[in-house]
Amino acid sequence: MTDVSTKPHSFIHRFVPARTPDRPPLLLLHGTGGDENDLLPLGEAVSAGAALLSPRGKVLENGMPRFFRRLAEGVFDEADVKARAEELADFVEEARARYGLGRPVALGFSNGANIAAAMLLVRPEVLAGAILLRATVPLVAAAVPALKDKPILLVSGAADPLVPAANAAKLAALFTTAGAALRHETLPVGHGLSQADLSLAGAWLAGLGR
């Protein structure tokens, strides 16, 4: 049974209760043009039975939902990024209270991975960890937070036309400097997701807490 709601904190979202309570809940964050339904199959594939919390981004770009505004391709409105990351963090805290959830692991793709990375920079205590698929640096001027041992899986594409290798490396260096337990993998793929992404994410999640 799933819950489809506009509350809490005015995010349209889907919630799927856990069938396997010992698995950490997943916060699913879609890419540009996606919605609250897009990543539900991905969440189930990488962690069958985990609770799934999947909000829809509130910013529209040419009618396509996103989690924050951008000024051009690859150029973010950083004030909006920070404000939206704070708002999403508040949503997660309210959803945890409503649904009785532990701290979730964010699983984000593209724009969703970028807002998850921003949350790690501005409200890291909200997340238990993160899987960032095709993420780029979301906040150039962000202070380096304390991410001591925070588990993060960053998966980049060697042929990704939207995320240059140098940008992905910069994000990895930022998390490493912050003390996170980072694993950075680069796959021989483009910006789209592959079976290798699912396999990496599933194995990484299975290893948490061991």
Residues annotated as catalytic are 110, 160, 191
Query: In one letter, which amino acid is 12?
Result: I
CA 12/CA 30 separation, integer angstroms: 13
Q: Which of 37, 30, 31, 32 is nearest to 14 (CA)?
A: 37
Site of tokens 């993160």? 130
Contact yes or no for 148/179 (Cβ under 8 A): yes
- Which helix (H) or strand (E) covers residue 166, if one does? helix 165-177
Cα 53–chain centre separation: 11
- Which helix (H) or strand (E) covers residue 130, if one does? strand 129-133
At 15, list the tokens. 């919630």
Query: In one letter, which amino acid is 163?
Result: V
CA 114/CA 131 separation, integer angstroms: 11
